[in-house]
Chain A
Amino acid sequence: MAIENAVSADDIKVDGAKMHISDTDVAIDIVGMHKWYGEFNVLKDINLKVMRGERIVICGPSGSGKSTMIRCINRLEEHQKGKIIVDGKELTNDLKKIDEVRREVGMVFQHFNLFPHLTILENCTLAPIWVRKTPKKQAEEQAMHFLRRVKIPEQANKYPGQLSGGQQQRVAIARSLCMNPRIMLFDEPTSALDPEMIKEVLETMVGLAEEGMTMLCVTHEMGFARKVANRVIFMDQGQIVEENTPAEFFDHPRHERTKLFLSQILH
């Protein structure tokens, strides 16, 4: 709460000069970031500034480095050059800093990565109890709150393996939300789902976006991008090739590679 108050105080200060952006409004700042897998330069000169409450969709052909980029933001992948500052903390080899960042950044994976030996409720309460030291009872109430929000409270005592893909992904979203993250990363959240289940997951994500969550989402759901994104980023060969508002991006792509990509997926 203290931090949020500080933010609003800052907002008032800069209110007079709108052009001047306070640092506390920047959620993620990536400057000149490079990454190599051995000799291979997977990410080249990535520069990206994400404001609080911004919703960014990242798309691009497979192997373009979009997943790798958002995985760098919570240090599931290590970058070798440049700077990544998340929530005011720079990501270095400092394990404590990394854990601090991970606590504030939720991540939803393509393959859900739920813990199969724990029930849905236990999946959701594990991190709050062990990382945030929330009392068990309170953690469970909070978990049920988020499970209701993703519309599966009745599954709380089942195991992940008993749920459909769409339900599992919604649990994964609830699990992340239980840590009260300030930023959510989505790594192709609907790519492993049956067509009938994509909608339920997207609806959950739209709900989150409407509440003002800062979101970075790697996805090919162009409908979703048009509906909720402030900005669409197109990546190819490890670089950001084009960046624009969804309307401009889809209707008037500028870069040749973007045009080709859009013509391939929008048939």
Chain B
Amino acid sequence: MSQNDLHYVRTEMALPQPAPLRERGPVAWIRKNLFANPFDSVLTIIGMIIVIMILPPLVDWALVQAQWTGTDRTFCSTVAQGGIQPEGWSGACWAFVNAKFGQFMFGRYPIEERWRVILVAIMFVALLVPLLIPRVPRKGLNAFLFLVVFPIVAAFLLIGGFFGLPHVETPLWGGLLVTLTLSYVGIVVSLPLGILLALGRRSKMPVVKMLSVIFIETVRGVPLITVLFMASVMLPLFLPAGVSFDKFLRALIGVSLFASAYMAEVVRGGLQAIPKGQYEGADSLGLSYWQKTGLIILPQALKLVIPGIVNTFIGLFKDTSLVYIISMFDLLGVVRQNFSDPAWASPQTPASGLVFAALVFWMFCFGMSRYSIYMEHRLDTGHKR
């Protein structure tokens, strides 16, 4: 009979207990993450072998054998190649990067005018850093200075031609200066323009919608190289004789428009992910279209697509190298241009130059990536809907 007694009353509530020791500490971490099962263990061991095979030769080439100083190609060539290094030597030629560093940064910008570029760079950093740190107050003023005042001041400083500043024409610009200018303008223009295009594409007004769709699909349907090439070669054909505008400006416009088409699609993805209830909640309170969009929809939509937005930024940053097609030289372009300098031509030069360029690109892209992850965490209020 007793087995039919379903009666049970808990007399004392169970207290929480500490997790078992096996679940904590570094040993537990290694067990869990590296050697959880045989397959994991094999993968871990293979991974370790690969690291051991690649890392020491790389360190050897880049740091141990590397030639840090020198005045010409002989420092980076073996005796048989007409240099001073012993037979069989293989190391990075940082002397080349060292000697050409100014060119890599500024291109053919006149040496005595380079302080202008440096001044612009200092302003850029001084305005960007506080903008990126959430704790620093006065974001509105800061953003205004960075997005409106800075480009105007920078343009005057870099181009010159007034107040006794000699004019520096844009074909002389090059290197990191060109990379950063193109990226800055591309990013600053493409985000707002992309948002407008995305809103346009979802608009109920047929003309606005059609124009947005045509723009996005046309620009997205052609390679960036084509856009740049057309801007450089075809555009002058359509302009009246005698009218021309700067090649670099054309590249800036081309890159910005190209990036905004991609941005529009990224933002549209975010807009579509916002539940209908958010629109209705805003509508029911009597918010106007722009209030609803600016205060409710966009803050949530943009937060959702931060990875996509930064992805587009990074893509844009690296695509700037394509301006070589219209004979402008960004960082990579200048590095490649210098391979053919007879004073520095050696078997190690191209690899060293490219590794340097790659490192610079990587630093910027990784920075953007880390910052975007930081922002995602910061803006996460912990729930959907």
In the assembly, what is the distance between CA of A131 and CA of B383, in Å? 27
B287 touches A162 (CB 8 A): no
A131 touches B286 (CB 8 A): yes
B384 contacts the other chain (CB 8 A):
yes
In the assembly, what is the distance between CA of A114 and CA of B385, in Å? 8
B382 touches A161 (CB 8 A): yes
B296 touches A115 (CB 8 A): yes
In the assembly, what is the distance between CA of A120 and CA of B296, in Å? 14
**B278: which A residues are within 8 A, CB to CB?**
113, 115
**A115: which B residues are within 8 A, CB to CB?**
278, 281-282, 296, 300
**A131: which B residues are within 8 A, CB to CB?**
285-288, 291
B295 contacts the other chain (CB 8 A):
yes
B residues contacting A by CB (< 8 A) are: 277-278, 280-288, 291, 295-296, 299-300, 303, 379, 381-385
Chain B's nearest CB lies how many Å from the CB of A134? 13
In the assembly, what is the distance between CA of A160 and CA of B385, in Å? 9
**A116: which B residues are within 8 A, CB to CB?**
300, 381, 383-385
A127 contacts the other chain (CB 8 A):
yes
In the assembly, what is the distance between CA of A114 and CA of B384, in Å? 11
**A76: which B residues are within 8 A, CB to CB?**
280, 283-284
A residues contacting B by CB (< 8 A) are: 74, 76, 99-100, 102-103, 105-107, 109, 111-117, 126-127, 130-131, 159-162, 175-176, 179
Partner of B284, one of A106, A111, A117: A106
**B283: which A residues are within 8 A, CB to CB?**
74, 76, 102
**B383: which A residues are within 8 A, CB to CB?**
116, 159-162
**A100: which B residues are within 8 A, CB to CB?**
286
Closest A residue to B282 using CB positions:
A115
Partner of A99, one of B280, B286, B381, B382: B286
Closest A residue to B299 using CB positions:
A117
**B379: which A residues are within 8 A, CB to CB?**
117
Chain A's nearest CB lies how many Å from the CB of B10? 20
In the assembly, what is the distance between CA of A116 and CA of B383, in Å? 7
**A113: which B residues are within 8 A, CB to CB?**
277-278, 280-281, 284
A74 touches B284 (CB 8 A): yes
In the assembly, what is the distance between CA of A162 and CA of B286, in Å? 26
**A130: which B residues are within 8 A, CB to CB?**
287, 291, 295
A159 touches B281 (CB 8 A): no
Chain B's nearest CB lies how many Å from the CB of A169? 13
Chain A's nearest CB lies how many Å from the CB of B377? 14
A179 touches B286 (CB 8 A): yes
Chain B's nearest CB lies how many Å from the CB of A60? 21
In the assembly, what is the distance between CA of A102 and CA of B280, in Å? 11
Q: A130-B287, A131-B287, A159-B381 are in contact. Are A114 and B281 (CB under 8 A)?
A: yes
In the assembly, what is the distance between CA of A76 and CA of B287, in Å? 13
In the assembly, what is the distance between CA of A103 and CA of B291, in Å? 14
- Which of B280, B281, B285, B296 has its CB near the most chain A CB atoms (within 10 A)? B285
Partner of A102, one of B284, B295, B299, B385: B284
**B300: which A residues are within 8 A, CB to CB?**
115-117
Q: A115-B296, A130-B291, A130-B295 are in contact. Are A102 and B382 (CB under 8 A)?
A: no
**B385: which A residues are within 8 A, CB to CB?**
111-112, 116, 161
In the assembly, what is the distance between CA of A99 and CA of B284, in Å? 9
**B295: which A residues are within 8 A, CB to CB?**
126, 130
In the assembly, what is the distance between CA of A111 and CA of B295, in Å? 20
**B280: which A residues are within 8 A, CB to CB?**
76, 107, 109, 113
Closest B residue to A185 using CB positions:
B284
In the assembly, what is the distance between CA of A105 and CA of B286, in Å? 9
18 A-B contacts (beta carbon < 8 Å): A74-B283, A74-B284, A102-B283, A102-B286, A103-B286, A107-B280, A109-B281, A109-B284, A116-B383, A116-B385, A126-B285, A127-B286, A130-B291, A131-B288, A131-B291, A160-B383, A161-B381, A162-B382
Closest A residue to B285 using CB positions:
A127
Shortest Cβ-Cβ A-B pairs, 4 listed: A161-B383, A113-B281, A127-B285, A102-B286
Closest B residue to A113 using CB positions:
B281
Closest B residue to A101 using CB positions:
B286
In the assembly, what is the distance between CA of A218 and CA of B295, in Å? 29
Chain A's nearest CB lies how many Å from the CB of B29? 30
B284 touches A107 (CB 8 A): yes
In the assembly, what is the distance between CA of A176 and CA of B286, in Å? 11
In the assembly, what is the distance between CA of A117 and CA of B380, in Å? 8
